Structure 1
Amino acid sequence: MADNPNRSIKSRAAIAGHPLHPVMIHFPIACLMLLVASDAAFLYTADLFWARVSLWLAGVGALGGWIASIAGLVDLVTVKRIRQMVLGWCHAILAVMLLSLASLNWLWRFKDPVDLLPWAVALTLLTTALIALAGILGGMLVYDEAVGVEIDDK
């Protein structure tokens, strides 16, 4: 944890000092993670309802992720101390990779919502793994590097 109050890095994409990116990313992550469960439900039951749920989760997760990434990109390119961090660039690159895969997954499902095996399921699982990695790096940015966090000197 950052122990020097001068180490905290303020977000430029913020409202009343609260960074937008960490606030906006929760819903898209939830959608993309729930995609695993809805795919499993469809494969187990063959009920078209679950295929439609998966289509919507993939679309909302990908679109919401791209929208949330704008706030992260603003901070990455406008805050010099963030721009200089390899960790910030790694987080951003992983996020672009996972959102690209999530978008491809949505397009695959849009073409045919019931054609899941093997590609849509593989894209879902790979996206889920990248979400975990990007989340770890994002957590390191917040908790270890104090990006978007004010540190009390108490």
Structure 2
Amino acid sequence: MRLFGHPLHPAMVHFPIAFWSLATVCDGLAYFGLAETWAHGWVLIGLGLAIGLVAMAAGFMELTRLAEEAQVAAQRHMMTMGLAWICYLGALMSRLQDGTPIAEPAMLPVALSAVGFVLLLIGGWLGGNLVYRYGAGREETPRMQ
């Protein structure tokens, strides 16, 4: 998916990465005593999940543009980021009790958030590898004469 000839995926990924990273910090702070941050984590995870879907769709559409040698790396990146998305979805869903958010920090959502963050780091590194090693998203430009 491109906008004015530029790949949309690299522009979109910064948002879920930032939201989920901050959510993980909020969850950790809440679990270890700063309970006021618990509600912020909920909102940040939700925003990351929503924008993450758009980023994943844009990345999936870029797959056809990748060279054959980059396909395995792209699949690893997609799997890892998909698992991170699932962990954060689990973190969000495990905060619900009878359809309403729980007020106090709990171990399961914090653990899922932490695992999601580790997967986010790995997936981000794999995505960077696609760009810097395989040139994903880059177009060959004609040389100036």
- TM-score range normalised by the length of the shorter chain: 0.7 to 0.9
- In structure 2, the partner of 1:14 is 2
Aligned mates of 2:127, 2:78 — CA distance in 1: 9
Equivalent residue letter for 1:103: L
1:38 aligns with 2:11: no
Matches within 5 A, 1:20-59: 20-47=8-35, 49-59=36-46
Contact 2:16 2:51 in 1 (8 A): yes
TM-score by length of 1: 0.80
Aligned equivalents of 1:80 and 1:135: distance in 2? 17
Sequence identity percentage: 28
More divergent stretch after superposition (84-93 vs 24-33) = 84-93
Deviation at residue 110 of structure 1 after TM alignment: 3.6
Cα RMSD (Å): 2.2
Following the alignment from structure 2 to structure 1, what is the Cα–Cα distance between the partners of residues 71 and 139?
A: 18
Instruction: Work out whether residues 91 and 138 of structure 1, in 8 Å CA contact, stay in contact via their aligned partners in 2.
Output: yes
Structure 2: gaps (5+ residues): none
Gaps of 5+ in 1: 1-12
| Partner in structure 2 of residue 71 of structure 1 | 58
Structure number with greater CO (CA < 8 Å, separation at least 6) is 1
* C-alpha deviation, 1:82, in angstroms: 5.7
Deviations 1:5-49 (A, max 9, x none): xxxxxxxx11122110110111111010011221233234453x3
Q: TM-score, structure 2 length as denominator? A: 0.84
